[in-house]
Amino acid sequence: MLFHTMVGSNDIERSKRFYDTVLATLGAGEGARNIADSGHTRLIYNNGNGTNFIVSQPINDEPASVANGSTVAFSCNSPEQIVSPPTRRGFGTRLIERSLRSYFRGETVLSYPPEGVEFRIKAPLAGAGELVTA
């Protein structure tokens, strides 16, 4: 199910020493150094089951932080496996639509075209983002 998990690092050499030691105890070999097309250095760890753990310099050249430089990717067989309308509308969908509709004082539309999930907001610019009190 998981294809890779990636974390950002401000110090690749220090991260390599740390993760080489920690992940060796879980059966992963030494991190393979990889230079991305962007020129940023990445370390790729694989334990042989098709799932990778990657440590990377953030590609936007901002410092790595809790979210900057981090991704989680799930493996799938085809785009159709991912981009299909949900069979039910759950709490998360309602929360996203209703909270953003209220926050922006406008209309929200969530759709699922073949090329991906689409979320549109139509709202007036005046007063957008101001605290709404009931």
pLDDT in tens, 78-93: 766 666 677 777 777 7
Q: Show the 3-state SS of 50-94.
A: CCEEEEECCCCCCCCCCCCCCEEEECCCCHHHHCCCCCCCCHHHH
Whether 134 maps to a domain, the answer reads no
* Nearest Cα to Cα of residue 29 among 40, 43, 11: 43
Same domain, 20 and 37: yes
Same domain, 22 and 49: yes
Contact between residue 101 and residue 107 where contact means Cβ atoms under 8 Å apart:
yes
pTM: 0.52
Whether 133 maps to a domain, the answer reads no
Residue 131: predicted pLDDT = 52
Q: How confident is the model at residue 35 (pLDDT cuts 50, 70, 90)?
A: very high
Whether 128 maps to a domain, the answer reads no
CA atoms within a 13 Å half-sphere pointing along the CA-CB vector of 48: 7
What are residue 44's phi and psi, to 5 degrees?
-115, 125
